[in-house]
Amino acid sequence: MPHPLGDRPSKVIAVHLNFPSRARERGRIPAEPSYFLKPPSSLAGTGDPLARPAGCELMTFEGEIALVIGRRAHRVAPGDAWDHVGWVTAANDAGVHDLKYADRGSNLRSKGADGFTPIGPRLLDARALDPAALRIRTWVNGEIVQDDTSDTLLFPFAALVADLSRLVTLEPGDVILTGTPAGASVARPGDTVEVEVTAGSESTGRLSNTVVEAGPLADWGAMPLADDAARADAWGSAYVAKPTLDEAVADALRGLSTATLSSQMRKRGLQHMSIDGVHPAGGDGVKMVGTAHTLRYLPLREDLFERYGGGMNAQKRAIEELRPGQVLVMDARRDSSSGTIGDILALRAQRRGAAGVVTDGGLRDSATVAGMDLPVFHAGAHPAVLGRRHVPWDTGLPISCGGALVQPGDVLVGDADGVVVIPPDIAPGLAADAAEQEAQERFITERVAEGEPVDGLYPLGPRWRETYETWRRDHS
């Protein structure tokens, strides 16, 4: 496409990590900025499609603030660097992580394809802007997924221009993509990604691009490859690179009680696997089975709440990161004196295919939530909004919930008795042993109902073993 200024730039430079929220997702904070190049041929505009090559599954979006150089910059000092920026606009640093392995470090094939750098639609005059007062937001299908401000940057804009200009001459029209905030993830064909940069009442307008399925790649050269590592990298904290829960195992667990599962885990030496103090919002008939996606709250600090509690905070990110079959598990420090989720976010979790929600804090809108088709376990109903007791802090990490250690990917089972945590590697064997235990207990119950004494029967002793085996074959 033509550059928004009329001519194609000599280069497009992208920053790897710059927003602290993204750095926390990635688990590292760089001491210095690092960069990669995108070809000018990757530029596109609003309305242009994001073409995901056939065979790829990991088309990613990254909403970014783009700087357009207005005046040649060669070895400029940080104090003078902003004067060399002509315009600011919105950008989407798109890519396909299925090809990232082929050019590790350079990102050429994964992020350099034609159309993988939409920018626009409007250019804001940099001279009229405070570079530390810009807001970047990204929507996918109308739902906000990224929201951050330029006052949080690890490396301010002027520092980037000065650093680059020490060794690379920046020509008028060159574009610098300044990094993406938390929330960047995967978009699928049919999804529309919109990015907007605002400065007070000034706006770039929404840069809008829809993902489409492109034709197949020619069968020479590197071909798409998606494994757990690639998926974890692409999805960010939205992806749990843990063993998935086999559907047959999940079905078996749905038919088992938490009491039986707890008993079986105790036999394996696991005695602290219950999430204590939580009960189902929907009554005794609730059953929940899924894998854990975690959210941690920290105690309220008023000076930090606006920064961490506003906008697309960790609470909202955790909801948007949910994948079908996952249970959102919240560490609210066993403090139920404030709500940690209400009806709107619970509805959003349900729409995203969540298997349930567990919080050792409070639940807002409890009557409405109880009527939803979503298992929710909580420590008590409370009307207070977020900000009374908690600050939502981060997602996708090991937490404590109701006294139990929960790791992302752990298996959660909930019923009227509460919630238990199952290490995923033992889930198949545990389910089989628990099913056998429950069969024995049904047999024992029938005998007790017939008037048999429990001595030698409960637990099942040798005298009853043959009778039980016959009963088991008849009832299998």
- Which segments are annotated as binding site for Mg(2+)? 365
Identify whether 375 is preceded by a cis peptide bond (ω within 30 of 0): no
Q: Which residues of 84-94 are buried (b: 16+ CB within 10 A; e: fewer)?
A: bbbbbbbbbbb
DSSP H helices, 336-422, are 343-351, 366-370
Structure tokens at 273: 């696997």
Residues tagged in the binding site annotation: 342-345, 364-365
Q: Backbone dihedral region of 247: left (phi > 0), alpha (psi from -120 to 50 degrees) or beta?
A: alpha
Q: Kindly report the three-state secondary structure assignment for every residue of 192-250.
A: EEEEEEEECCEECCCEEEEEEEEEECCCCCCCCCCCHHHHHHHHHHHCCCCCCCCHHHH
Among positive and negative, which fits the CA dihedral 462, 464, 467, 473?
A: negative
Number of other CB atoms surrounding residue 463 within 10 Å: 10
Structure tokens at 212: 């489409």
- For tokens 């001519």, the residue is 7
Residues in the chain: 476
d(CA 28, CA 154): 12
Q: Backbone dihedral region of 413: left (phi > 0), alpha (psi from -120 to 50 degrees) or beta?
A: beta
Residue type, 422: I
Identify whether 459 is preceded by a cis peptide bond (ω within 30 of 0): yes
Identify whether 121 is preceded by a cis peptide bond (ω within 30 of 0): yes
Residues tagged in the binding site annotation for substrate: 342-345, 364
Of the candidates 93, 41, 48, 40, which has an alpha carbon nearest to the alpha carbon of residue 66? 93
